[in-house]
Amino acid sequence: MVKGMYGIKDDVFLSVPCVLGYHGITDVVMMTLKSEEEEKLRKSADTLW
Q: What angle do CA 14, 31, 20 make, to 5 degrees?
A: 65
How many structural domains are present in the chain?
Answer: 1
pLDDT tens for each residue of 1-49:
787 788 888 888 888 889 999 999 999 898 899 999 999 988 989 888 7
Beta strands in 1-49 (DSSP E): 18-21, 24-28
Residue 12 pLDDT: 86
Q: Which domain holds residue 22?
A: 1-49
Burial group, residue 42, by CB count within 10 angstroms (0-12, 13-18, 19+): middle
Specify the 3-state DSSP secondary structure of 43. Answer: helix
pTM higher than 0.85: no
Q: What is the CA radius of gyration of the chain?
A: 12
Residue 2 pLDDT: 80
